Amino acid sequence: MSRTLTQKIAPLFAAAALACAGAAQAQSLLDSSTYASLVGTNAGTVNGVSFSAGGGDFGTKFDGGWGGLGVTGGGAGTEIDIGESITMSFAAQVISDFSVALLFNGPEFNDYREIAQVAVYNGDALLGTYALTVGLDGSSPGAGWTGFGSVANLSAPAADNGGAWLVSGNPFGNVAATKLVFTALSSNLCQAGATCSNQSDYVLSAVHAVPEPGTYAMLAAGLGAVGFVARRRRQR
C-alpha cells in the first residue's frame, strides 16, 4: 500500500474506530441534568427523548442525597405514586440500566415492600411488564426483579438513606424498546402490626441505553467498505 494511500485512509479508520467506541458506551436517556427542563410541566422533550407525566406535573424529591424525578399530587408528594406515571419515548434502543430511589421496605414513611413497575414497548407492541419489589425488612438490603439482569442496592432502604436501586445488565433483555412507562403497584405485603398507608411510591433517577444492534452492523459494514477500497487500490 502506498504511503499516500495510507495517509488518505488512516483518518477513515480512526473515525470508524471512534464511532465504534462511542456506540459501545451507554447513552443517557435520563439523568440529573434532565430534571430541571421538566419540572413544573407535564410533558417535554430533552435531548431527543419525549417525557410525559400522568396524574400531575413533573417534580423532584430527595432523601439523604438520593432522589430523582417524580410526579406532583400523589399521596407521597412528588413521587410516582399509585395512579401516576412517567412515560419516556425515544428512538429504538436496548436499555442497559435504570435506577430508582425512595423505594423502601418499611417501616420508614409507612412504606412496606414497595413495588416499582415498568412497561416496555416497541411502537405499539408491549414487550413486557416487569416489577422491582423491595425485600423484607431486616434482610440484607435487597430487592426482587422480574426482568433480566441484576439488582444492586445503592443506598439502604432506610429513612435518610434514600432507598436507591440500580437494575443493570439489559434489564428488559436484548431487545430494542421505544417507550418505557414507570408506575407504582400496591404491594399488599404489609408486615404484621404495621400501618401501611403509603403503598407504593418512588422516584426515577436515571435511564441508560445502548444503540440498537443494527447500529453496530452499520459500523462494521462501513469498516468493511473502507478495507475493500484499500484492497482494490493496492491491487491496481
Phi/psi of residue 6, each to 5°?
-60, -45
- The pLDDT of residue 109 is 72
Per-residue pLDDT, 194? 60
With a CB cutoff of 8 Å and minimum separation 6, the contacts of 180 are 87, 88, 95, 98, 118, 119, 120, 121, 207
Residue 155 CA to its chain's centroid (Å): 17
Residue at 181 is within a domain: yes
How far CA 184 is from CA of 7, 191, 234, in Å, comes to 57, 19, 62
Query: Residue 197, Cβ neighbours under 10 Å: how many?
Result: 11
In order along its 236 residues, the chain shows pLDDT tens digits of 445 434 444 443 444 444 444 445 679 999 999 999 999 999 999 999 999 999 999 999 999 999 999 999 988 789 999 999 999 999 999 999 999 999 988 767 766 788 999 999 999 999 999 999 988 665 667 899 999 999 999 998 887 889 999 999 999 999 999 999 999 998 766 665 666 665 689 999 999 998 655 544 444 454 454 454 455 555 55
φ, ψ for residue 198 (rounded to 5)?
-145, 55
User: Residue 207 falls within a domain, yes or no?
Assistant: yes
Burial of 4 (0-12, 13-18, 19+ CB in 10 A): exposed
pLDDT at position 95: 98
Establish if 54 belongs to a structural domain.
yes
Determine the straight-line distance between the first and last CA of the chain, rounded to whole angstroms: 10
* 231 lies in some domain: no
DSSP codes joined into one string, 105-139: -SSGGG--S-EEEEEEEETTEEEEEEEEEE--TTS
Closest CA to 98 of 212, 210, 209: 209
pLDDT number for residue 219:
46
User: CA distances (Å), 90 to each of 5, 48, 174, 178, 188, in order?
Assistant: 41, 7, 16, 5, 33
Where in the sequence is the domain holding 74, given as residue range(s)?
A: 28-212
* Strand, helix or coil for residue 154: strand
Domains: count for the chain = 1
pLDDT at res. 187: 73
Within a domain: residue 10? no
CB 218 within 8 A of CB 129: no
Stated as kind and residue range, the H or E segment containing 49 is strand 49-54
Q: State the cell numbers at 67.
A: 432522589
Q: What pLDDT sits at residue 15?
A: 43
Task: Judge whether 217 lies within some domain.
Answer: no
| Integer Cα distance of 227 and 59 in angstroms | 51
* Residue-wise DSSP of 64-91: TTEEEEEEEEETTEEEEETT-EEEEEEE
